[in-house]
């Protein structure tokens, strides 16, 4: 694959993700199927488990359209945007999580940082965020994944909790301009 082909593939993936927000799910024959009705139990579970306003805005329409893997990918991106927004940093992935949550000199401190237990919790949050990037976002960004609604809900509720902790964290240094 040459450089132009790679650019076309990246553009197509981006457009696909953007269009998923407005698309309806397809049934087995490939014809458009209905999106989840408002009384659908999965939608009620989504509304019960995904509480963060920004995460909900990034993922709900994808989930309703039954684009579960796309909803998860968008959810991880929302986590990264939340972290960037709190810190003004521009890094992504592991680099972002390391610079922001490192127990040695975090930009966002999730606790008082006074004990070994606090340090362990800080490091654990950093590793969880790094793991979410590697295990959930990256595979969905590079291959087609068919997540079940239950698996997607589990992932989105985990991301919701990470966003909650991140938003409650104390900024330790000035935000980058």
**Is the per-residue pLDDT at 125 higher than 50?**
yes
Q: How many CA atoms lie within 13 A of 91 on its CB side?
A: 13
C-alpha closest to that of 107 among 51, 158, 91, 54:
91
In a domain, 115, yes or no: yes
pTM metric for this prediction: 0.77
**pLDDT score at 15:** 52
C-alpha closest to that of 152 among 13, 10, 25:
25
In a domain, 177, yes or no: no
**pLDDT score at 26:** 42
pLDDT in tens, 45-67: 999 999 999 999 999 999 999 99
Q: How many separate domains does the chain show?
A: 1
Look up the domain containing 59 and give its range. Answer: 3-25+36-171
Q: How far apart are CA 147 and CA 70, in angstroms?
A: 9
**pLDDT score at 24:** 40
In a domain, 176, yes or no: no
**pLDDT score at 76:** 98
Q: How far apart are CA 64 and CA 46, in angstroms?
A: 9
**pLDDT score at 5:** 64
pLDDT in tens, 129-162: 999 999 999 999 999 999 999 999 999 999 999 9
Rama region for 164: left / alpha / beta (φ>0; ψ in -120 to 50; rest): alpha
Average pLDDT value over all residues in the chain: 86
- Phi/psi at 170 (nearest 5 deg)? -95, 130
């Amino acid at each position: 694959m040459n450089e132009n082909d790679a650019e076309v593939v990246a553009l197509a993936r981006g457009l696909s993700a953007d269009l998923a927000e407005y698309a309806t799910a397809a049934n087995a024959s490939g014809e458009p199927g209905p999106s989840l009705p408002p009384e659908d139990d999965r939608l009620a579970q989504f509304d019960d488990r995904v509480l963060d306003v920004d995460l909900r805005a990034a993922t709900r329409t994808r989930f309703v359209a039954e684009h579960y893997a796309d909803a998860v990918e968008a959810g991880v991106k929302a986590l990264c945007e939340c972290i960037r927004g709190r810190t003004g940093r521009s890094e992504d992935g592991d680099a972002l999580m390391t610079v922001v949550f490192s127990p040695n000199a975090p930009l966002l401190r999730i606790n008082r940082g006074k004990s070994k237990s606090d340090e362990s919790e800080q490091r654990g949050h950093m590793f969880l965020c790094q793991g979410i990037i590697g295990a959930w976002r990256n595979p969905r960004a590079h291959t087609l994944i068919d997540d079940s609604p239950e698996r997607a809900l589990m992932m989105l509720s985990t991301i919701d909790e990470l966003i909650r902790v991140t938003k409650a964290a104390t900024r330790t240094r000035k935000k980058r301009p």
